[in-house]
């Protein structure tokens, strides 16, 4: 069927291609009207349909013995942590909104990810975030950082869920296009998981929560195109959040969940009413009649497409059992929230949207959704020229520092190494008093589960420089570092959620980065037995200079069967012996030292060996359960000496160590070779530790001891721990103030 010019014009302006408009017409056997084109434009956007990524996402491991729902089929992943308790978790991006309105963009990212958790009947107990910005000396970067951090803090603090962990990374690659990835973790009774499914012909469909306004219209489409100088014109596509409404919605939803009247419930996130009605219907293989004129609105005379596409926050779609509506009405009236029936479930798989008596759109639910009729593309990919060039790096190109003391101070002051205190001090980390890391910091967050002696261990990790320099190995390292952080804290890794941030997928070099990162992530997840429960793809992250670093952020959760297993990263007492588990290498590749102190960007990812990594994690897991370790901290960004300093900062205790003369001193101190951890033990445990590592065939070396208040390396006094801590704590604040 040929297309009318006005249909082509309307569809292309909405972001659809001519081929997609033709496909829609063929599926409907008629030309779509404007409202229907609007619906397809958001549901077939990359943000909702994953049309450029789904082929490769399907290659990730998606099954595991601890998973309680199938990967990607519910609002969030759920894993079993024992005792009838499930952990519900997910991470998502809010990059494009944050680029043009950082405060609301970041705030609504936090609100949206929490809704994904409590729509399943879970109570959120922890929030995490992963942030990326440009050069911290740039005025716009400072503005974006300030707005994003305040947005996260204001929303999260008012909502009442502690922010327990996160990461913040700076590089000019993110100039003008920050990445804002928000993660939420909740707990649930495994017998009360609520599905995002519509079912039961004649069952009523309710919209609950806030009124629907014109904010956020077309947000899913906006998130599926490049950021440019004209993006500020898309400001209405940025949602506006209200954390106090969200808190009411949380309590009302969890109260409703306990009544047993809910058939299905879904957050109205990307694409609003359009998305929730179509996805819930398609999943349940049913249809719906929806009356848009019954939707509570903030503005008068809103058009059908505006109501359908609005991404106003703090709203959800709920299907209830017919005849049991009063329970919902009473609960939401008590919490002073909307609870309005706007439709009913039908059995024909068709979505009928009415405005009064007028049928304004009629579409098959299946044809709109991911896994249904939404298109799936095979994109061309090719290795970028820089990749082979980076492989040519040789450590002999780098001269050793003339002044190691000044070099260490310079490294400590780098924004990627320095304390993110300026950021996290704006977050409430103690509300609910279940965050154990406020008193005893560890590599991952450890959140106590009320009424038990169990805890959930969670982390977000990704060194994007590694991924850029070698996407396959860099993604493997991201998963492995997350597992390392959880095990070093005393936990057991269970599963991941991911937030895949990349540039334009239609550029073959960018798509190659994506494909290689997926392959590396999948292999690492299989090796660590941490399946992927779901997540988010965010393409089109770039500026005029090119794409951002490929950033596949890993959100990982684990369980701690007994809080007594928690192991902090801080040195505890003078006289404790310090060991390195794992083997150092003559390797400076992709390190913070090489990139930002020396100034060499072109190098491969750092040394990584999966067998060595797995052996290290197995050993640490057992050593903690044997009660041998007083502290444990992985070696990561900044290398071994940075890890030692971070362990020393906790109690302001010094250390004396010796370097390995068989390895270049700069590599030993600053190199970021993977598969290593710093542990401290009481002297009486030395022989037991050494015998155990020998029996495991794990490389280890005695570095020195916890001693005094200074940093002493190879007999040279590098200065006080307090002096380095001052640099560490104040570097970012001083840069922002300049």
Query: Could you count the other beta carbons within 10 Å of the beta carbon of residue 208?
Result: 24
Please give the positions annotated as active site: 47, 94
φ/ψ of 397, rounded to 5, equals -70, -20
Distance of alpha carbon 137 from alpha carbon 132, whole angstroms: 14
Query: CA-to-CA distance for 459 and 557, rounded, in angstroms?
Result: 7
CA 396 to each of CA 168, 400, 586, 587, 671: distance values in angstroms, whole numbers, following the listed order:
31, 9, 10, 10, 14
Structure-token match 């937030």, residue found? 499
Structure-block tokens of residue 348? 């024909």
CA-to-CA distance for 240 and 312, rounded, in angstroms? 7
C-alpha dist (Å) from residue 335 to 10, 155, 328, 520: 42, 19, 11, 47
Can you tell me whether residue 542 is helix, strand or coil? strand
Tally the C-alpha atoms within 13 A of residue 254's C-alpha that lie toward its C-beta. 17
Structure tokens at 240: 């506006």
Which residues make beta-bridge pairs with 183? 91, 128
DSSP 3-state assignment of 436?
helix
Is-contact 465 171, C-beta < 8 A?
yes
Candidates 193, 194, 368, 195; CA nearest to 282 is 368
Q: How many CB atoms lie within 10 A of CB 372?
A: 16
Tokens 């012996």 appear where? 577
Q: What is the DSSP letter of 186?
A: E
CA distance 461 to 129: 10
Cβ count within 10 A of residue 402: 7
The β-bridge partners of 497 are 555
The DSSP-derived string for 394-411 is -GGGSPPPS-HHHHHHHH
CA dihedral (561, 567, 573, 578) positive or negative = positive
């Amino acid at each position: 069927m040929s297309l009318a010019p006005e249909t082509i014009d309307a569809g292309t302006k909405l972001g659809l291609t001519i081929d997609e408009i033709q496909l829609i017409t063929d599926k409907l056997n008629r030309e779509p009207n404007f409202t229907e084109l609007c619906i397809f434009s958001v549901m077939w956007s990359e943000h909702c349909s994953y049309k450029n990524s789904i082929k490769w996402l399907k290659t990730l491991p998606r099954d595991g013995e601890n998973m309680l729902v199938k990967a990607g089929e519910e609002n969030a992943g759920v894993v079993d942590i024992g005792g009838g308790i499930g952990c519900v978790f997910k991470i998502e991006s809010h990059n494009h909104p944050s680029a043009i309105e950082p405060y609301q963009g970041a705030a609504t990212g936090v609100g949206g990810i929490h809704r994904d958790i409590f729509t399943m009947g879970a109570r959120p107990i922890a929030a995490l975030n992963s942030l990326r910005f440009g050069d911290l000396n740039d005025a716009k970067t400072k503005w974006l950082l300030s707005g994003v951090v305040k947005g996260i803090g204001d929303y999260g603090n008012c909502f009442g869920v502690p922010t327990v962990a996160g990461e913040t990374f700076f590089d000019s690659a993110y100039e003008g296009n920050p990445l804002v990835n928000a993660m939420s973790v909740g707990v649930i009774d495994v017998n009360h998981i609520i599905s995002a499914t519509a079912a039961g012909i004649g069952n009523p469909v309710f919209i609950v929560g806030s009124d629907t306004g014109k904010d956020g219209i077309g947000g899913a489409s906006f998130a599926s195109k490049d950021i440019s100088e004209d993006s500020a014109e898309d400001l209405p596509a940025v949602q506006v959040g209200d954390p106090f409404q969200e808190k009411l919605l949380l309590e009302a939803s969890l109260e409703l969940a306990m009544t047993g009247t809910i058939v299905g419930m879904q957050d109205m996130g990307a694409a609003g009413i359009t998305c929730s009605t179509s996805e819930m219907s398609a999943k349940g293989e049913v249809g719906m009649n929806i009356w848009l004129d019954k939707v509570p609105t903030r503005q008068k005379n809103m058009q059908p497409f505006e109501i359908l596409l609005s991404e106003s926050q703090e709203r959800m779609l709920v299907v209830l059992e017919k005849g049991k509506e009063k329970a919902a009405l009473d609960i939401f009236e008590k919490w002073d929230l909307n609870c309005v029936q706007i439709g009913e479930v039908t059995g024909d798989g068709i979505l009928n949207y009415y405005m009064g008596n007028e049928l304004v759109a009629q579409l098959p639910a299946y044809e709109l959704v991911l896994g249904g009729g939404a298109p799936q593309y095979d994109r061309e990919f090719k290795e970028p020229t820089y990749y082979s060039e980076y492989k040519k790096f040789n450590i002999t190109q780098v001269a050793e520092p003339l002044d190691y003391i000044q070099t260490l101070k310079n490294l400590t002051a780098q924004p990627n190494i320095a304390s993110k205190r300026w950021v996290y001090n704006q977050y409430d980390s103690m509300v609910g008093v279940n965050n154990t890391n406020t008193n005893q910091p560890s590599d991952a967050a450890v959140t106590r589960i009320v009424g038990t002696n169990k805890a959930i261990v969670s982390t977000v990790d990704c060194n994007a420089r590694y991924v850029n320099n070698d996407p396959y190995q860099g993604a493997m390292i991201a998963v492995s570092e997350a597992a390392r952080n959880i095990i070093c804290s005393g936990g057991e890794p269970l599963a991941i959620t991911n937030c895949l941030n990349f540039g334009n997928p239609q550029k073959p070099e960018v798509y190659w980065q994506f494909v290689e990162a997926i392959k590396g992530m999948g292999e690492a997840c299989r090796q660590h037995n941490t399946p992927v429960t779901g997540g988010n793809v965010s393409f089109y992250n770039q500026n005029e200079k090119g794409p951002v670093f490929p950033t596949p952020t890993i959100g990982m959760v684990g369980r701690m069967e007994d809080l007594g297993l928690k192991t902090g990263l801080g040195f505890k007492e003078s006289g404790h012996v310090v060991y390195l588990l794992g083997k150092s290498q003559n390797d400076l590749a992709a390190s913070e030292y090489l990139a930002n102190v020396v100034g060499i960007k072109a190098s491969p990812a750092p040394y990584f060996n999966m067998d060595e990594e797995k052996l290290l994690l197995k050993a640490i897991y057992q050593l903690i359960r044997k009660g041998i370790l007083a502290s444990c901290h992985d070696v990561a960004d900044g290398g071994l000496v940075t890890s030692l300093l971070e362990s020393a900062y906790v109690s302001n205790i010094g250390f004396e160590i010796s370097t390995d003369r068989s390895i270049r001193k700069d590599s030993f101190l600053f190199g970021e070779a993977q598969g290593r951890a710093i542990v401290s033990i009481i002297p009486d445990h030395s022989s037991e530790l050494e015998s155990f590592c020998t029996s495991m065939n794990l490389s280890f070396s005695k570095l020195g001891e916890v001693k005094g208040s200074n940093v002493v390396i190879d007999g040279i006094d590098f200065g006080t721990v307090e002096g380095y801590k001052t640099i560490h704590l104040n570097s970012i604040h001083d840069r922002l103030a300049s």
